[in-house]
Amino acid sequence: MLNALASGRYLPGRSTLHRSDPRTKIVLTLIFALVAVAARSYLTLILMLLMSFGMAQGIGRSLRHSLRGLKPVAYLAVFTAISQLFFGGGPALVESGVLSLLSRDGAERSLMMILRLAVLVNGTSLLTATTPPLTLTAGLQWLMKPLQRLGLPVGEIAMMMSLALRFIPVVAEEAEKLFKEHAACSPQFAGGNLLQRARSCMPLVVPLFTSVVRRGDALAAAMDARCYGACPERTRMHPLRFASADITCVEVMLAFLVILLYTESS
């Protein structure tokens, strides 16, 4: 379970993405995600997927690691693809009994959906893999500053988003620990089909919830002991600054967008 979620965890490094400003990476990630959602060409999505894999290699993440990170969404992708295949409408792929329900349009949409989901997951994971959580919080807070005029607590919202990202691997770690403990006590715990294993995992929900709440309470006590929220404007030891790495990232993204625009129009 931890291996499946490891693609989005921070990986220390000195690549161009690691050295660029979090504000630049957040904006470029949003643009990348919007282009992936708006893409209507298979070639465009394939190029974006190859680019995300190449960037993952550049930050020190292997191809196997990147593919492993797609596991959490694999079941959702397969279920949605099958539903699109049978209920997508349009001419049938095979005119034979039940198989006549297979839709050609549904098959095309299924493939497009799987590619788009893979691009979004692998592309957006590069943001958290190259940005420490506290730096990511600072970038989010800076980008949301205009919302302060509406009276929104921008600092608290950014901190909550950062803590949510940090608690994903924590929950996975606790779940894997509980799973191994129960599997060691009962050899039949990890056996059986998918439905039986799902039923076996139900008793783990309460202890998992209790453990996560305990960690959250300890985190709240630590933040309170350090007087978090005592002053409206918090100072930072390392202020955010744009550098040459940001220019390189913007130039690469602009060049890639030109290529994607050409593939979409052709």
Q: Give residue-wise pLDDT tens across range 178-190.
A: 777 777 776 665 5
Q: H helices of 202-243, where?
A: 205-225
Pair 192, 153 in one domain = yes
Pair 117, 200 in one domain = no
The total number of structural domains in the chain stands at 2
Pair 142, 89 in one domain = no
> Is 128:113 a contact under the CB 8 Å cutoff?
no
Half-sphere exposure of 265 (CA within 13 A, CB side): 6
Considering only residues 87 and 110, tell me which one the structure prediction assigns the higher pLDDT: 110
Q: Which domain holds residue 65?
A: 1-131+241-266
Pair 36, 123 in one domain = yes
Pair 86, 29 in one domain = yes
What's the rounded Cα separation, in Å, for the pair 196 and 111? 31
pLDDT at 99 over 60: no
Pair 57, 1 in one domain = yes
- Average pLDDT for 167-174: 76
- Average pLDDT for 107-124: 84
Pair 29, 159 in one domain = no
Pair 222, 252 in one domain = no
Q: Any idea which residue has 């643009």 for tokens?
A: 31
- Average pLDDT for 212-221: 85
- The DSSP result for 43-96, as a single string, is HHHHHHHHHHHHHHHHTT--HHHHHHTTGGGHHHHHHHHHHHHHHS-SSBS--S
Task: Look up residue 133 and give its two tokens.
Answer: 């959580």
Lowest mean pLDDT among 34-48, 64-78, 98-112: 98-112
Residues 6+ apart with CB under 8 A from 183: 189, 190
Query: Cα-flanking dihedrals φ and ψ of residue 15, to 5°?
Result: -75, 175
pLDDT in tens, 219-254: 888 888 877 766 666 667 778 888 899 999 999 999
What's the rounded Cα separation, in Å, for the pair 169 and 3? 10
